[in-house]
Each structure stands twice: as C-alpha cells, then as structure tokens.
C-alpha cells in the first residue's frame, strides 16, 4: 500500500507542477515542460470534466488526494472533511512548490547565472514571474535584491494559515 501512496503523491506533485507551468505560462518549448505535458496530458484528458484547464488540474489533484485520504481515513472522518483536507493540502503543496522554486531561483542566480540548462531556465523563469510584482514596489538596494525575502515570508505565512485551517478540521 505504500507503493500506491507514493504513486498517488507523485501524480499530485506532477499535476501541481503542470498547474504552475500553465499558471505562469512558461516556455512550452522547454524540454522539461514538454516532458511534463506528455506525461500529464493523458491523465487530464481521461479525468477532465471542466473546460478550463487550470480548474481541471486542481480538481484532478484534489480527487487523487481525496482517494488517498478516503482509503486511509474514511472510517474516522466524513467525506466532506476529507475533501476539504485534500483541497487544503493541494493549496499548501502549491505554495510550497512556489517557495522552493523561488529559493532555487535565488540560489541559481548566485551559483549559475545565465545558465542554459532547461531546468535552470525554467526555475529562473518561474521565480522571475513570482518576484516581479514585489520588485515593482521594492527596488534593489545597491545591487542587492531583497524581494525574495518578502515573497518567502508571505508564502510561509500562507502555508501556516492553510495548515491551521487543516488542523482545525481534523
């Protein structure tokens, strides 16, 4: 059963990465994005009920989490609570993935600026699009960009907020 749990978690992570790629409209000619599209598209075409692609991705991710929780905890909690917890976990996963992408973008800007590797380009592209709204209000200070600090604090606070809601349901 641990193998099934691992497979479902990997599918949910893949769906959320695909959601991030679609949300931020990354370069679809990037080999990493093209590979994710080839892997995730059959799952979405088979399980998609909504005309909007972003809503379909979120719905399928929540459905997979719900199936996982329903298998383990259906006797202790109602299905409505399990569906809410699954939705909150998917939202928390989204914020955590964005957090790690921003951290990766900051590290890559120090270690390998201007790298041509597809993963590096993808991380830098997403982190640039996440940081751009903050950079409009907070300019760099003498060549030091402090906007990632504000984004990381904001994402951590959002994660804690949704975690508190999740724990209040259980």
pLDDT in tens, 117-152: 999 999 999 999 999 999 888 877 877 888 899 999
Residue 21 has pLDDT above 70, yes or no: yes
Question: What is the count of structural domains for the chain?
Answer: 1
Domain that holds residue 51: 2-169
pLDDT in tens, 38-95: 888 887 777 777 778 888 889 989 989 998 877 766 667 788 888 899 999 999 999 9
SS (H, E, C) 31-89: HHHHHHHHHHHHHHHHHCCCCCHHHHHHHHHHHHHHHHHHHHHCCCCCHHHHHHHHHHH
The reported pTM is 0.90
Token pair 């949910």 is found at: 12
Euclidean distance between CA atoms 167 and 102, whole angstroms: 26
Residue 29 DSSP label: T
């Amino acid at each position: 059963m641990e193998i099934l749990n691992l497979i479902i978690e990997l599918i949910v992570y893949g769906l959320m990465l695909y959601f991030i790629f679609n949300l931020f409209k990354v370069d679809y000619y990037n080999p990493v994005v093209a590979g994710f599209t080839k892997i995730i598209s059959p799952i979405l075409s088979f399980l998609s009920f909504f005309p909007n692609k972003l809503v379909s991705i979120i719905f399928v991710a929540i459905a997979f989490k719900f199936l996982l929780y329903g298998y383990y905890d259906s006797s202790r909690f109602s299905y409505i609570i399990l569906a809410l917890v699954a939705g909150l976990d998917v939202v928390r996963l989204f914020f955590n993935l964005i957090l790690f992408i921003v951290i990766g973008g900051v590290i890559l800007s120090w270690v390998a600026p201007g790298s041509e590797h597809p993963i590096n380009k993808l991380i830098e592209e997403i982190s640039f699009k996440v940081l751009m709204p903050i950079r409009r209000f907070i300019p760099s200070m003498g060549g030091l960009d402090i906007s990632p600090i504000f984004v990381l604090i904001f994402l951590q606070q959002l994660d804690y907020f949704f975690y508190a809601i999740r724990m209040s349901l259980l």
